[in-house]
Amino acid sequence: MMKIVSKQLTVTAAAAEYGFSRRHLHRLLARYRDGGLDAVEPRSRAPHTSPQRTTDEVRERILQLRAELSGNGLDAGPVTIAWHLEQENLQAPSTSTIRRILHTAGLIVPEPRKRPRSSYLRFEAEQPNETWQSDFTHWRLADGTDIEILNWLDDHSRYLLACTAHRPVTGDDVVATFLTATEQHGIPASTLTDNGRVYTARFGGGRNAFEYLLPLLGVTQKNGSPNHPQTQGKIERFHQTSNAGSAHTPPPAP
């Protein structure tokens, strides 16, 4: 530009030497005459204002919701936070933006390096009632009573089909809750459980009541590999969430 201004080069010669069009150089000259060298610096193509930029109000509410939900033992991930923002008639940013805000605030702790997710063979039923998962978890009530909570979960939709408490869970309870769930939701094509004795007696060389029932209903029974709870990962994750919520439930009024 200065070579043109100092008349060392013509616009045509500068265009040929530097690979610019004559029209572009004339625009730069006009900007130089109006504002000097600063006006010739490349201009950002970004808009002066961004309508999609997250407001300070929304940013602050995201952090508040993270604390409130976590404090109550509830899921506090980006999807849940976005849902709460919408219920409050606030403009919810994308879940990736919410995650970035939480990460910047130090509210997402990076997990230790694990085996890549891509190396796992992930499974999800293609439609409802294709596979039901079942498992039970332990809990202690406010009065000190130990119970076991038996759950049935649809593998495709993650819909909770049944949730019952027992002291403890027995094979008869598995059969009874399964039949009750089928009356309400239909019969699944298959079930997926661990190798607990309430679900299978195969390691003892026999069959239990649940194993006798399923073939009569045309249901395929699937059991995870021993010591490999990841096979029933969906219901394991549900138990983590429900137990966290129960831990923050206030005791009943006296």
According to the model, what pLDDT value does residue 24 have? 76
Q: Is 129 left (phi over 0), alpha (psi -120 to 50) or beta?
A: left
Two structure tokens written together for 172: 């008869």
Q: Are strands 146-154 and 132-140 parallel, antiparallel or unpaired?
A: antiparallel
User: Token match 């109006």: residue?
Assistant: 34
Helix axes 95-104, 78-87, angle to 10 degrees: 110
According to the model, what pLDDT value does residue 158 have? 85
pTM of the model: 0.53
Two structure tokens written together for 191: 């079930």
From first to last of its 254 residues, the chain has per-residue pLDDT tens of 567 767 777 878 777 776 778 787 788 778 777 776 666 555 555 555 455 578 899 999 999 999 998 888 777 889 899 999 999 999 999 999 999 999 999 888 665 555 555 544 455 678 999 999 999 988 888 788 999 999 999 988 888 899 999 999 999 999 999 999 999 999 999 999 988 899 999 888 889 999 999 999 999 999 887 765 555 667 777 767 666 666 656 666 66
Interatomic CA distance for residues 171 and 169, integer angstroms? 7
* Residue 66 burial by Cβ neighbours in a 10 Å radius (0-12, 13-18, 19+): buried
According to the model, what pLDDT value does residue 125 have? 75
With the C-alpha atoms ordered 179, 183, 189, 193, is the resulting torsion angle positive or negative? negative
According to the model, what pLDDT value does residue 141 have? 84
Instruction: Locate the DSSP E strands across the chain.
Output: 132-140, 146-154, 160-166, 190-193, 220-223
* Residue 180 burial by Cβ neighbours in a 10 Å radius (0-12, 13-18, 19+): middle
